[in-house]
Amino acid sequence: MTINRIRFLILVVLVGISGFSQGMLLPIISIIFEQEGISSSLNGLHATALYIGILIASPFMEYPLRKYGYKPFILYGGLLVVLCLFSFPLWKSFWFWFVLRFLIGIGDHALHFGTQTWITSSSPSNKLGRNLSVYGISFGVGFALGPAIAPLLHIHPALPFIITSIASLIAWSLIVWLKNEYPEQDDHSPSFFRTMKRFGKVMKYGWISLLMPFGYGFLEASLHGNFPVYALRNGITIEHVSIILPAFALGSIVFQLPLGILSDKYGRRNILVFVMASGFFTFLSASFIEHSVIGLIICLFISGMLVGSTFSLGISYMTDLLPKALLPAGNLMCGIAFSMGSILGPYMGGLFIQFSPNASFFYVISFMLLLILIALISFRQNGLVPIKE
């Protein structure tokens, strides 16, 4: 096995455990707060803490990555996540947990930004979709397993946090064995000003690709942050929620690799139009059968097969549109877009549940997917990106 393949496998494992921790945190904390009588809008607001951390830290991440390389950057991000996960059982407080989720957002974003940039920079163009699909599958597997440990709350409220902490520590220790590398450099020394200038270029030439991580963040965070509250209020038990939610992630696992390979062959935009249109109709269908547990499992599984790949496809699409020198900034912008969607999703979903109790929660997701579909159909690429700044 080559060194490049070993590195890829370690990065994939690390991302999988990161997905597990995120998949655990969203429903576990929302269930705990719902049982304590905290409103759905405050519950949704709390879920945004992780993504606020991503937003605030993003403009400052390109400089240390370019200066110190991938390995130290990922190590420090992973260490912050591990320490915060170990801290959750120490004190159950709304604002203490808010701060911990905020710090996990910073650490998780460093981890994802470093691994994504490392993979996109080192993958050949004809295997980019496949490699990022494997990356997405790993995250999806972890995210699917995360909510499945929700019933452990009945044994002890700290148990899900302890299990996730230990798993994250084991995965983090694997990074020590990798050789450090650096992203492709341009003619300018790293600086905050240069990062902002690169952000502008990414927005100008690759804005359409950013809608995919935005949409996935909106969908994922609202589904895992709001749906448990919505389900409990409509008579669905915690045990059923722990089965329904993983169905979406499992669906994305099933079809993520085929979609990545198809996007390499038929074009990223064509595949994205197909999955967005199909996802819109599938979530709309879920609104008509939301009182059936079996029906919801089937609908979410199918929707996961369709739109569960939008994050990895969006990164691949961004890589197609931009030169390698802009990939660190492009990956950061994907993280920012994901966090903005993840902030907006739970809060909008929480408000919708609170003020439209008789309407289906799935209308919110369907409408968001429809808007992205319209933008994709309307997009026309406006030329190649000039490499020089």
If DSSP codes are grouped into helix, strand and coil, which group holds residue 389?
A: coil
pLDDT tens per residue, range 70-99: 999 999 999 999 999 999 888 888 889 999
Confidence band, pLDDT 50/70/90 cuts, at residue 375: very high
Task: Quote the pLDDT of residue 386.
Answer: 47
How would you class 90 by CB atoms within 10 Å of its CB: exposed for 0-12, middle for 13-18, buried for 19 or more?
Answer: exposed
Residue range 3-179+189-378, CATH number: 1.20.1250.20
Note the pLDDT of residue 302.
Answer: 92
Q: Where are the domains of the chain?
A: 3-179+189-378
Residue with tokens 């974003």: 109
Q: What is the pLDDT of residue 1?
A: 58
Measured between alpha carbons, how far is 59 from 203 in angstroms, rounded to an integer? 14
121-175 pLDDT, tens digit each: 877 777 777 888 888 888 878 877 887 787 887 888 888 888 889 989 998 888 8
How far is residue 249 CA from its own chain's centroid? Answer: 11
Mean pLDDT of the chain: 84
pLDDT digits (tens, 9 = 90+) for 96-109: 999 999 999 899 88
User: pTM score, two decimals?
Assistant: 0.76
- pLDDT band for position 381 (cuts 50, 70, 90): low
Percent of the chain with pLDDT over 70: 95
User: Do the Cβ atoms of 49 and 105 come closer than 8 Å?
Assistant: yes
pLDDT tens for 245-266 read 878 878 888 888 888 889 888 8
DSSP state of 361: T
